[in-house]
Amino acid sequence: MRHFLSIRDHTAEEIEALVTRAVQIWQGAAPKKLSGAFATVFYENSTRTRLSFQRAAEMLGLSHLQISQEGSSIRKGETLEDTLRTMRALGAVGAAVRTPQSHALEDVPRQDLGLSLINAGDGWAGHPTQALADLAACRVSIGSVRGRRMLIVGDVLHSRVARSCAEAFRLLGATLQFAGPPTLLPEGLAEALGGERVEIDRAIGEADLVLVLRLQRERQEKGYLPNVAEYRRYWGLTEERYARLGPQARVLHPGPQNRGIEIDAAVVTAEQSLIGLQVRAGVHARAALLEEVLSDAH
Ligand code: CP
């Protein structure tokens, strides 16, 4: 594995192996020691993803080159490819890249770049390392996801997390259900992602995993929603809906949360919430991934 751009490029065995290794590192196994630098190239804001790549790189003995639009020559018009070539010249052996455009890394000529590339979130298309983190958090909390019923709720249309988690959890044997307003879960999207559309209040009591999606207000054009109070009422994981979860169920949210809109504040830190665990899992999942993509190639 040299690059990690999409869950779709990988087999169930490869994804399972990464999750297993993430949990081993989490439980104290020593990560491999690598040399050189790892770059985070972010064209969008991030807290969890960027800092967990930084922590993971440090665990493997790599130094960290951080670049964002503000304060860099990206603002002068430098292209993504030239920015990545500059990172290579500065000693980077790999780079995690976040872009507002879907599939941006697919246009970068990877053969002669000399860098392993990781998709850290691209537009609506994918956020595959979030899916690895979420699988690792589930592995630690409930074990295998095989046979578990996952309910994905909310702004599926604009969610790269929904796409990557749907691909990854289904690949590892979970069944998928989707609920959301028709404007944000249009006809046919649930089926295109390998699941079925359900009514949230009918499905929630049977769900094993409830993935609450952030309302992607920065990506929305006008007209998707009447208002956020109605969104919470019809689609939010409110305290009332949380109380109807089975004892086996766990709540996931990739963060950052819009508290009081797609999820109530009390649910974020509730006993069956994995939200804090997902962030911790993100460091170990990314350490396992960096080991895998960087150790053979460099
Ligand atoms: N889940 C996630 O991608 O969060 P950040 O935008 O903070 O990285």
* Cα–ligand 1 centroid distance for 271 (angstroms): 22
Ligand 1 close to Cβ of residue 121 (< 6 A): yes
pLDDT tier, 220 (very low <50, low <70, confident <90, very high otherwise): low
Ligand 1 close to Cβ of residue 103 (< 6 A): no
pLDDT in tens, 48-94: 999 999 999 999 999 999 999 888 999 899 999 999 999 999 999 99
- Residue 79 or 1, more confident: 79
Ligand 1 close to Cβ of residue 6 (< 6 A): no
pLDDT in tens, 180-199: 999 999 999 999 999 999 99
Which residue, by CA, sits nearest to atom 1 of ligand 1?
Answer: 254
46, 218, 277, best to mutate for ligand 1 pocket (most atoms within 8 Å of CB): 46
Predicted confidence at residue 228, as pLDDT, reads 86
Ligand 1 close to Cβ of residue 129 (< 6 A): no
* Cα–ligand 1 centroid distance for 260 (angstroms): 19
Ligand 1 close to Cβ of residue 255 (< 6 A): yes
Residue 218 scores a pLDDT above 80: no
Residue 298 scores a pLDDT above 80: no
pLDDT in tens, 108-136: 998 889 999 999 999 999 999 999 999 99
Predicted confidence at residue 295, as pLDDT, reads 87
Phi, psi of 176, rounded to the nearest 5 degrees:
-115, 135
pLDDT in tens, 207-216: 999 999 999 8
Read off the pTM. 0.96
Predicted confidence at residue 7, as pLDDT, reads 98
* Cα–ligand 1 centroid distance for 298 (angstroms): 28
Predicted confidence at residue 21, as pLDDT, reads 98
Mean per-residue pLDDT, 30-44: 96
pLDDT in tens, 130-164: 999 999 999 999 999 999 999 999 999 999 999 99
Mean per-residue pLDDT, 11-40: 97
Counting residues of the chain whose pLDDT is more than 70, the rounded percentage is: 97
Residue 217 scores a pLDDT above 80: no
pLDDT tier, 226 (very low <50, low <70, confident <90, very high otherwise): confident
pLDDT in tens, 249-270: 999 999 999 999 999 999 999 9
